[in-house]
Amino acid sequence: MIMADCIFCKIADKEIPGKIIHEDDLCIAFLDLSQATVGHTLVIPKKHYDSMLTADPEIIAHVFKVAQVLANRIKERFNASGCNVLTNAGEAAGQTVHHFHVHVIPRYDENDGLKISFVDHSKDVDLDNIYQSLMK
Ligand code: 5GP
Ligand code: ZN
């Protein structure tokens, strides 16, 4: 259940402190140390899974349900105007802690210091080819 040397297992197990804002049988949510924006929260299952790619689908569903409730609470308490809810899977995707977690990041305005952007490659891509590869 608990992975040695996993910082999030240790937070879930209360071995090291975290500012926990939600706890139930399956998951906890706590403030991210780095606060990408004010209120930035992580929702994690108590049980260790390396990432969303290998987590139990029922657990993923539960973690995202909790993320929705907290996103609304955080948005209301801090008077935010939006929210990013996301999970990084794998180092190439920016995952640094290899225990599945969902970021809840309230957004205030376009100048709130966080940039998440998708570069537009639409002119150069072969959408048909990509589609065929996925549908084979
Ligand atoms: P990732 O880049 O893996 O998607 O996100 C990991 C997040 O965990 C980062 O935003 C980082 O600030 C946060 N984090 C790393 N170590 C700790 C910790 O010990 N306590 C808390 N509260 N957050 C942590
Ligand atoms: Zn863990």
Q: What is the Å distance from ligand 2's center to 6 Cα?
A: 5
Ligand 1 pocket: which of 33, 49, 87 to mutate (most atoms <8 Å of CB)?
33
- pLDDT value at residue 86: 98
Flag whether 32 is in a domain: yes
Flag whether 26 is in a domain: yes
Q: What is the mean pLDDT of each run of 10 residues along the chain (136 residues)?
A: 89 97 98 98 98 98 98 98 97 98 96 92 92 96
- pLDDT value at residue 39: 98
Flag whether 81 is in a domain: yes
- pLDDT value at residue 2: 77
Ligand 1: residues within 6 Å at CB?
Answer: 7, 18, 30-34, 88, 94-97
Specify the number of domains making up the chain.
Answer: 1
- Here the CATH number for the domain that contains residue 104 is 3.30.428.10
- pLDDT value at residue 1: 64
The answer to whether 48 is a known catalytic residue is no
Flag whether 1 is in a domain: no
Task: Give the structural domain span for 69.
Answer: 7-135
Ligand closest to Cα of 11 equals 1
Flag whether 58 is in a domain: yes
Q: Which residues contact 22 (CB under 8 A, 6 or more apart)?
A: 28, 29, 43, 66, 69, 70
Q: What is the Å distance from ligand 1's center to 104 Cα?
A: 12
- pLDDT value at residue 23: 98
The distance of Cα 36 from the centroid of its chain, to the nearest Å, equals 12
Two structure tokens written together for 65: 């349900």
pTM assigned to the model: 0.96
